[in-house]
Structure 1
Amino acid sequence: MEHYREHEIAKELGKINSCTKSVLAALVSIAIDKQIIPPPDTPISLFFPLLKEDQDPRKREITISHLLTMTAGFNWTEFGGQNSFPTMTRTADWIKFVLAQPLSHMPGTVMNYNSGCSQLLSAILRECSGQDVAAFAEDQLFQPLGIESYRWDSDPQGIHTGGFGLYMKPEDMLKFGLLYLQEGRWKDQQLIHSGTVQKSTRPYVAATLPQKGFYGWHWWVSSFHAGTEQQPNEIPYYFALGFMGQHIIVVPSYELVAAITADKYKKGSPANVFGRFIVPALLGQ
């Protein structure tokens, strides 16, 4: 089923904001599967030697997995302040800015939403693959899915933005969700190992901001209630979430994918489309 408040939205490239993170996670997953990127428990100091010289020895414990689950431990406020992604975007070197941030937690212990972690992953993918992230995406993901039109912003060093800045059409967001529903398979190709899809979308760590729930490898993980008080039944699902109300939602047990591009700040835009409309429809309410 499709519905557009404005018909032209169907063919326009829309900014998907932090849904970009989940696309990046897919690319990193592919690179790990193909042994282009080393295993998730690899310390990122392998790619960023500056960390070996840092006064805080805990930084040498940060791994690729910590970046994927946002548990690197950096003192980061994301949406405002001196250690936030808006401040990062005003610097001449985003990677150096992120790496220079102090740690507030031991790596692997606390989830702290951080687009800087995503930028480090983007840099690692570029270094390991020898390709720009967008070129790697075209070869390994976009062309197989038939995604022909997109736009992807870059940082001052030409590294594509890992945490935001990707523009896609709604139908292509849906294709991306369908790839995950099919556990990484598209037509006759296994683009991501099914085990990697399962690993990346399981709840690794509890989160409170900007969304209460659990976090996987750059995917949010949650559930909705489908039973009764006497017989509880929680239905798990996972989703990509963008700042202005973009969602790519996958509910495996219902074989459902929903792509939502509504801007929640615009007048007349429905709030919580999934919870208010889709879940009741699934439950026959």
Structure 2
Amino acid sequence: MNLSLLAADLPSLQLRSCLINRRGEPLLQYYQKPAAETEIARINSCTKSILSALICIAMDQGLLPPPETAVSRFYPQLAADKDTRKAQLTLSHLLTMSAGFNWTEFGGQNSFPKMTRSPNWVEFVLGQPLAHPPGQVMEYNSGVSQLLSAILMQAVERPVTAFAEQYLFGPLGITAYSWESDPQGIATGGFGMSLRPADLLKFGQLYLQQGKWGDRQLITPERVIRSVQPAIDADPPRRGGYAWHWWTDVFPDPDSSSTESAPILEYYYARGYGEQFVYVLPAQETVVVLTKDQKQKQQPPLDVFRDCVAPALLDRYSSKIN
């Protein structure tokens, strides 16, 4: 499939938007209806990757200590916990969701709904027992994202939204957004943000440009590179790896029947419930944004990127069309 065929198929895929840029220029722009271009919409867990960017900015500015720093620096009760493994928790463990908490986001324990119904989300997360030693197992956990947001707020001594407006949203020209908060007024770290698709594209482009926007270096290249390197295998049935609140993967599968000389797309991406995505493909200098109206259901859901977009991009780039 090439991009022209992909464009023709987009209405049947029930996407709210599909934006593809290469080298900062549009290859494809699709909106299901005009309002989708101008209205903000929930990006759900893509919020995690934006929080990661803010963590990186704070580290670059010396407001947050290095990722190897113990979380007990911010929450001393962890050092006094009867489970001595909690004292070993680091910012890196939170960023890679390898803290080891006994946590099932949905289903089973329903840890996420229980957190959001609790009077203090941070205390709820800190009080959860550990199921694994820190750093050994990735367990998807929006609770650790809330801890990171709370830690960031402590470190920058202002609301996370104010920090974002000054050092990320402002420089990117993002003026239309909303961001929920917990009962203590801490910005939700794992979800709760609403943005326009074009602003998600700017965010992906910032990472493609290794943290540079215009003549400003918003995030150091070294920090960008480290934050998107896979640190641990994703928890099954999810595929690929996990970095600092970014997912990583390749297309096609390394063990597929394709020949060894066939080109491969390596990418990292932000992912939100209801099929909200930002993909960054460094070697191809490409950013892809896919969003969907969460009221629309498709059973089983189609992996639009891997089934439709990635083959079209691979076809384009392997044919050396620029």
1:80 and 1:164 mapped to 2: Cα distance?
18
Question: Amino acid of the residue matched to residue 259 of structure 1?
Answer: V
For CA contacts below 8 A with separation 6 or more, give which structure has more relative contact order. 2
- Contact 1:19–1:242 under 8 Å retained in 2: yes
Gaps of 5+ in 2: 1-27, 317-322
Per the normalisation by structure 2, the TM-score is: 0.85
Q: Deviations over 1:157-216 (max 9, x none)?
A: 000000000110111000000000000000000000001111010111001346221000
Structure 2 match to 1:257: 287
Per the normalisation by structure 1, the TM-score is: 0.95
Q: Secondary structure at the match of 1:120?
A: helix
2:45 and 2:100 mapped to 1: Cα distance?
20
2:243 and 2:97 mapped to 1: Cα distance?
9
- Runs of 4+ with >4 A deviation: 267-270
Q: Deviations over 1:88-128 (max 9, x none)?
A: 00000000000000000000111111001100000010000
Q: How many residues align?
A: 285
After TM superposition, give the deviation of residue 279 of structure 1 in Å: 1.3
The correspondence of residues 19-30 of structure 1 with structure 2, limited to 5 A, is 19-30=46-57
Structure 2 match to 1:152: 179
After TM superposition, give the deviation of residue 275 of structure 1 in Å: 1.4
Identity of aligned residues (%): 52
- Contact 1:204–1:215 under 8 Å retained in 2: yes
Candidates 123, 132, 135, aligned match of 2:150? 123
Q: Secondary structure at the match of 1:3?
A: strand
After TM superposition, give the deviation of residue 283 of structure 1 in Å: 2.0
Larger displacement relative to structure 2 (182-191 or 272-281): 272-281
- Contact 1:113–1:209 under 8 Å retained in 2: no
1:264 and 1:255 mapped to 2: Cα distance?
29
RMSD: 1.8
2:142 and 2:258 mapped to 1: Cα distance?
39
Candidates 38, 41, 53, aligned match of 2:68? 41
- Contact 2:105–2:141 under 8 Å retained in 1: yes
Question: Using a 3 Å threshold, how does the CA distance of structure 1 residues 13 and 231 change in structure 2: closer, same or farther?
Answer: same
1:124 and 1:67 mapped to 2: Cα distance?
11
1:94 and 1:208 mapped to 2: Cα distance?
23
After TM superposition, give the deviation of residue 85 of structure 1 in Å: 1.1
Structure 1 match to 2:125: 98
2:260 and 2:128 mapped to 1: Cα distance?
49
